[in-house]
A = this chain, B = another copy of it.
Amino acid sequence: MRATVMHKAHDVTIENIPDATIQQPTDALIRITRACICGSDLWPYNGGPNVEGQRMGHEAIGVVEDVGSDVQTIKRGQVVIMPFVDSDGTCMFCDEGLQSACVHRGFFGTGGELDGAQAEALRIPMADGTLYPLNVGEEDALMPGLLSLSDVMGTGHHAAVTSRVRQGGTVAVVGDGAVGLCGVIAARRLGAEQIILMGRHAPRIELGKRFGATDIVSARGQEAVDQVRELTHGFGVQSVLECVGTEQAMDTSMGIVRPGGAVGRVGVPHYEVIKGAQPMFYNNVIVAGGPAPTRGYIDELLPDVMEGRIEPGLVFDRAVDLDGVPDGYRAMNDREALKVLIRP
């Protein structure tokens, strides 16, 4: 079968690899009908250790082709959402709705034991705990929005939840990528009154406004901090959705959060320490967040997608087949595309 393989910086190719198969009795095999490229895929695309041979892709919708003998609830022919981590559905963390901390957790498409979803098919471990079955056809018009529940919409929601967005609250979203824009949707959905989107790319800003951003800050560094403070009577915001993962984004986040406020981190951190431990303390600032339990959030978010109350599928502004994936990486890396949908 054909799949996406990373070799080194700016070298990602579509290759023939051995067919995905059932290996454990709790596995399912899915044919990928939709996948996409994530902002976090651009980190290996821009180089790094141990990238050679990495199977890519961790967001997908597929059709169940086969199930192992111990799979109980997932059936052949079902259309399913594949969250970006697998989860057993039975451990204490899954019970609490934190499937991304499942004791058997693995990340798809990040070079570990699990293969990638930017491919024709994929083996899904612990299928009953991992997959979320849908009552739609595989070509339903809502596919982009449903696909976003695999990662990007659930991750934006996690940033909003962990930064404690509340009815009438003040919010800043750091980063105008697809996760940040879904963070705007999530903040609006949870009732925030002021939503400051921090970014500098005109088409993304426009989409952010459509999603509910009330203010835009396009500066960086101290100037950005000053502008957010001006917009918030000098205090900063109650909730910061950190959707980038760089040290600068975290510095900005800590600069714009008000006393008693919270920073919800969902950008994969490319820094080792959280600076400002003392001002953070004296201001009772909370730092939270991490990999989103998107599996657990689907129950809450799915009805809003199905009934059109939220439209996270709009973050996809380009669609390719597998052959188009390498150019999709290039286009996202060049900020020519916001988020690329794949129809294998």
Chain A interfacial positions (CB closer than 8 Å to B): 92-93, 96, 98, 100-101, 162, 235, 250, 259-260, 262, 265, 268-269, 271-278, 280-291
Contact of A283 among B101, B260, B275, B287 (CB under 8 A): B101
Nearest chain B residue, comparing its CB with the CB of A235: B92
Say yes or no: B260 contacts A98, CB within 8 Å.
yes
Q: Nearest chain B CB to A107's CB is how many angstroms away? A: 10
Q: Apart from A280-B287, A283-B290, A286-B286, list 17 A-B contacts with CB within 8 A.
A: A92-B235, A93-B260, A101-B259, A101-B260, A162-B284, A162-B286, A250-B277, A269-B277, A269-B278, A271-B277, A272-B277, A273-B277, A274-B287, A282-B290, A282-B291, A284-B289, A288-B288
Say yes or no: B268 contacts A281, CB within 8 Å.
yes
Nearest chain B residue, comparing its CB with the CB of A247: B277
Q: List 17 A-B contacts (CB under 8 A).
A: A93-B259, A96-B260, A98-B284, A162-B284, A262-B288, A268-B281, A269-B281, A272-B275, A272-B276, A272-B277, A272-B278, A273-B275, A274-B280, A274-B287, A281-B290, A285-B288, A286-B286
Q: Chain B residues near A162 (CB, 8 Å)? A: 284, 286
Q: Chain B residues near A272 (CB, 8 Å)? A: 275-278
Q: Chain B residues near A273 (CB, 8 Å)? A: 273-277
Say yes or no: B289 contacts A281, CB within 8 Å.
yes
- Secondary structure of the A contact surface, majority rule: mixed
Q: Chain B residues near A93 (CB, 8 Å)? A: 259-260
Say yes or no: A284 contacts B290, CB within 8 Å.
yes
Say yes or no: A285 contacts B274, CB within 8 Å.
no
Q: Chain B residues near A101 (CB, 8 Å)? A: 259-260, 283-284
Q: Nearest chain B CB to A235's CB is how many angstroms away? A: 8
Q: Chain B residues near A285 (CB, 8 Å)? A: 288, 290
Q: Nearest chain B CB to A207's CB is how many angstroms away? A: 27
Q: Chain B residues near A274 (CB, 8 Å)? A: 273-274, 277, 280, 287
Nearest chain B residue, comparing its CB with the CB of A293: B284
